[in-house]
Structures are given as C-alpha cells and as structure tokens.
Amino acid sequence: MPVERMKRILVTGATGQIGSELTIELRNKYGNDDVIAAGHRRKPSEKLFNSGPFEYVDVTDREGITKVIKKYGIDTIYHLAAVLSAAGEEKPQLAWNVNIDSLYNILEIARKHELVRVFWPSSIAVFGPEAPRVNTPQDTVLIPRTMYGVTKVAGELLCNYYFIRFGLDVRSVRYPGIISSETPPGGGITDYAVEMFYEAIKKKRYTCFVREDTVLPMMYMPDCIKAAMDLMEADLSKVKRYVSYNVAGMSFSAGELVAEIKKYIPGFECGYKPDFRQKIADSWPMSIDDSVASEEWGWRSTHDLAAMTKDMIEKNDKTIC
Ligand code: AKB
C-alpha cells in the first residue's frame, strides 16, 4: 500500500535537541508553512522561529494541542517533547507526566481527528541489565531501571495498542545517544559525548561523569533525522512492526571518543568522575542489533566515529570559537 501523503506536520518539542534540526529538515522537504513547530519553555532559535510557524503549547494540555491541530489542519505529528533519563531520576513525576500523559494526548487526538501518521521516539533506555548488552536484539526482555525507560516501554506498548485497536499509523524508533552540533541535549546520560566536544573546543579539558571504559551506542544527528524521515516515508506494507525499531549508529567508549577528539585537538585532556549516571549507563546496551529495521524499511546509518568527529569539530570550531 503506498504511503498516504503527509501534508501538514506538527513537531512538538521543536526547540529541543532533535526537534530544532528535524523541523528545519522537514521544512526543507515539505515546505516552510506546512511544518508547524511547537515548543513550551525553551525559546526557539531565530532560524527555527523565522523559517515557519511557531506555537507555544504545553503537550500535557490536550485542549491546547487540539486548538493547534484545528488551526493548521494538521495531519501528521512528530511528537518529540520528553524529559530524558537523568532529569527523570530527579523528577520522576514530571517525567511520567511529560512523557506518558502527552503521548496519550497525542494518540487520542490523532485517533479522534483521523490523522495520517504519528512519529514518537523511543530509546535504548527501554533495556535493562537483563537484556544482552552486546548487539542487543530487537526482541528481548525490557526491564529498565529508570523512570525514563519505564515511560519509553509504556509508550511503546501504548503506540502498539493504538495501532492494533484503532489502526492508527504510529511509527517509532529506539534512539541511542544523539550527538548534535546545533542544540545541546539536556538531562540525558549520553550528554557527556556532546559536552566533551564543546568543552574540548572551548577549554581543552573536560571532566566526564562516566568511566573511561563506558561503552554506549550513539548516533550522529544526520542519521537521527534520516531514521525518523525514512521510517515515516516507508511503504506501509514494509513496516510490519508497530513497536519501536532498534536503530544503530556507532558504539564507542568515553576513552575512545577522547582519543578521536585528540587527533584534532592534541592538547585536550579528559578526567573521569563517575556519578549516579554511571549505574544507569551500565544498565544500558553497549551496541544494538538493528537488522530488523534494515530488512523491513532499508535502514542504514551513514556516520561512524571518525566521520562524526571530523564533522563535529569542523562545524563547532567555526561556530563556537
Ligand atoms: C538519554 O541519555 O537519556 C537519552 C537516551 C539514550 O534516550 N539520550
């Protein structure tokens, strides 16, 4: 069955790490006026604000979102607003409200207004220490140890329920840590990988909050955007799995990232001071098996550690220094 066209798109969490870059790419593809950015607390960048419509909406306010859906005749939602893992451990109630209540709102609105499609990001945080940590398979035991992970497992089940019960076309991937050159993340465990670049360029030193030998799966922003857009464009007949797909980019230890950055900034020094985030990192996969996504809708990542590091240094050297 050919994919039904997405004509008017709403992006929630558009001022966040993924949203700020994905919205621009969606505008490039579907037209500036047809991609509506929605944020809540964080001020949008000038680029985001000036390139198309922007609305301030609280995703936990169903009426507020409904108004925006009606105002613009929205048929597709990328629902990105979320509280990440470390922040969720400090404020579990907030993590539940933002991550689950808002998803329920979006799915209900999509069902009632017969929207064409919804994208919602899950995370490698769905896995806990009982899952194999190397090449973590698509289907395995999901017993996360963080509130964020709990909301992601519950969210996957909710999306699956809406597909089976109501036929809602909702698609999802399990993102690893995302490395970005425009908007920094906030409140995640994998944030150290992004912070390390910024601090290496600005100060030539960084204190990392996980051990040197900590290996986690990561992905560069162009691949993150590609995964969302490829899956949303995929033929419905190819998308057989309505729970989130594993997607992989690269895996490296904090020490390996330091060594790669040193190739460009030889004087860079990194110290290690693990805190409560280490235990969470140790409960997550080290690498991901994404063969199901490859087989079903042709997923392929494009950036490895070397290519990502080169691009991050080149981009940030110009913009930060
Ligand atoms: C986090 O660290 O919380 C996120 C994630 C892996 O979902 N980047």
Torsion, CA 139, CA 143, CA 147, CA 152, rounded to 10: 10
Q: Is 264 a catalytic residue?
A: no
Contact 226, 233 (CB under 8 A): no
pLDDT in tens, 161-189: 999 999 999 999 999 999 999 988 889 99
Alpha-carbon gap, residue 245 to 242, rounded angstroms: 8
Contact 238, 295 (CB under 8 A): no
In a domain, 281, yes or no: yes
Q: Do 267 and 152 fall into the same domain?
A: no
CB of residue 193 inside a 6 A radius of ligand 1: no
CATH code for the domain of 66? 3.40.50.720
CATH code for the domain of 290? 3.90.25.10
In the chain, the DSSP E strands lie at 9-12, 35-39, 54-56, 76-79, 117-119, 122-123, 170-171, 173-175, 177-179, 205-208, 215-220, 245-246, 250-253, 269-272
Residue ranges for the chain with pLDDT beneath 50: 1-2, 320-321
The tokens describing 143, both together, are 């017993």
Count other Cβ atoms within 10 Å, centred on residue 225: 18
Q: Do 237 and 311 fall into the same domain?
A: no
Tell how far the Cα of 228 is from the centroid of ligand 1, in angstroms.
16
How many structural domains compose the chain?
Answer: 2
CB of residue 125 inside a 6 A radius of ligand 1: yes
DSSP structural state of residue 98? I
In a domain, 57, yes or no: yes
In a domain, 272, yes or no: yes
Q: Which domain, by its residues, includes 198?
A: 179-218+249-316
Q: How many residues does the chain have?
A: 321
In a domain, 4, yes or no: no
**Which of 146, 175, 216, 280 has most ligand 1 atoms within 8 Å of its beta carbon, as the pocket-test mutant?**
175
In a domain, 1, yes or no: no
Query: Is the pTM higher than 0.75?
Result: yes
> What is the per-residue pLDDT for 238?
82
> What is the per-residue pLDDT for 236?
82
Q: Do 165 and 291 fall into the same domain?
A: no
Q: Do 78 and 132 fall into the same domain?
A: yes
Q: Residue 253 class from Cβ within 10 Å (0-12 exposed, 13-18 middle, 19+ buried)?
A: middle
> What is the per-residue pLDDT for 100?
98
At which of 229, 246, 263 does a domain end?
246
Q: Do 105 and 238 fall into the same domain?
A: yes
Q: Do 16 and 82 fall into the same domain?
A: yes
pLDDT in tens, 81-113: 999 999 999 999 999 999 999 999 999 999 999
In a domain, 21, yes or no: yes
Q: Residue 106 class from Cβ within 10 Å (0-12 exposed, 13-18 middle, 19+ buried)?
A: buried
In a domain, 277, yes or no: yes
Q: Do 32 and 167 fall into the same domain?
A: yes
Alpha-carbon gap, residue 13 to 228, rounded angstroms: 15
Tell how far the Cα of 218 is from the centroid of ligand 1, in angstroms.
9
> What is the per-residue pLDDT for 318?
65
> What is the per-residue pLDDT for 320?
45
CB of residue 177 inside a 6 A radius of ligand 1: yes
Q: Which residues contact 57 (CB under 8 A, 6 or more apart)?
A: 12, 38, 39, 40, 64, 65, 68
